[in-house]
A and B are shown apart, each in its own frame.
Chain A
Amino acid sequence: GAGVSQSPSNKVTEKGKDVELRCDPISGHTALYWYRQSLGQGLEFLIYFQGNSAPDKSGLPSDRFSAERTGGSVSTLTIQRTQQEDSAVYLCASSLGDLYQETQYFGPGTRLLVL
C-alpha cells in the first residue's frame, strides 16, 4: 500500500514568508509525528498527534511554528515569518497506534531552504 507522503518535496522561500508543509499518513495510522533534521544533525522531534490531538506542543521551536491535523489524517506544519535557521528537512512519520510501541514509518521529507 501507499506509504507516508509529503508535499512539497522541495520548497525555496524568502526570509519572512510563511510556508505550509503537508503530510499524508498511511491510511489507518492514528499517530503522526513531525521531525526536523538540519544538515549533518540528528532528528529533532517537533510534535506528536494521536488522532487530531497534540498532547504536548513544547517541542515546536518557536511560536512561529504551528501544526494541526484534521479528520485524523492529513497534517500541516506551518512556519510563519520564516528565518534562515528554519532551513532543514522536515520529516513526517506515522504509526498504527500509540507513541510507545508502534513502528514509525517515515515520509520522504520536505527540504526547506530559506534565502
Chain B
Amino acid sequence: QKEVEQNSGPLSVPEGAIASLNCTYSDRGSQSFFWYRQYSGKSPELIMSIYSNGDKEDGRFTAQLNKASQYVSLLIRDSQPSDSATYLCAVLTSGTYKYIFGTGTRLKVLA
C-alpha cells in the first residue's frame, strides 16, 4: 500500500464548477497535510496546509481533513482554466522528518 494515494486523473470539470480532489494516507499518526499545485514543467507551489480535522478555507480553495478516515481533500470552487494543473497531496509522517507526496491528480478545467 502506498503511503499517500491519489487518483492520477485526469479529472475534467467545466469552467465554474467545483473540482474535488482526494487523497488518502496510511500513517495514522500524521499531523500535517499539504496541497501543492504544479503546472507542467514548473516547480510546485503550496496551495493549502491543514493540521486539524474539519475545513479550512482560503479564497476559492477549501481543504478538508478527516483523520479518523485518513482522508484529506481539496475543493476548488468556481474552477477556472488557469486552475488546470497537477495537484499534489503531501503528508508529514509522524516521528520523522519526511514529507511523503502522492503522485498527483491532473485537473483539467474546460472552458
A100-B32, A106-B43, A106-B45 known; A56 and B101 CB under 8 Å? no
Contact of A106 among B4, B44, B102 (CB under 8 A): B44
Task: Give the interface size class of chain A.
Answer: 20 to 34
Residue A80 at the B interface, CB < 8 A?
no
Q: Which of B39-68 contact A (CB under 8 A)?
A: 43-46, 49
B contact residues vs A (CB 8 Å cutoff): 4, 31-32, 43-46, 49, 88, 90, 92, 96-104
Cβ of B45: which chain A residues have Cβ within 8 Å of it?
106
Besides A42-B4, A42-B103, A91-B43, 8 other A-B contacts (C-beta < 8 A): A42-B88, A43-B44, A45-B99, A45-B101, A56-B97, A91-B44, A100-B92, A106-B44
Nearest CB of A to B6, in Å: 8
Nearest CB of B to A61, in Å: 13
Tell me the complex Cα distance, A35–B34, Å: 15
A contact residues vs B (CB 8 Å cutoff): 33, 35, 41-45, 48, 55-56, 58-59, 91, 99-101, 103-104, 106-109
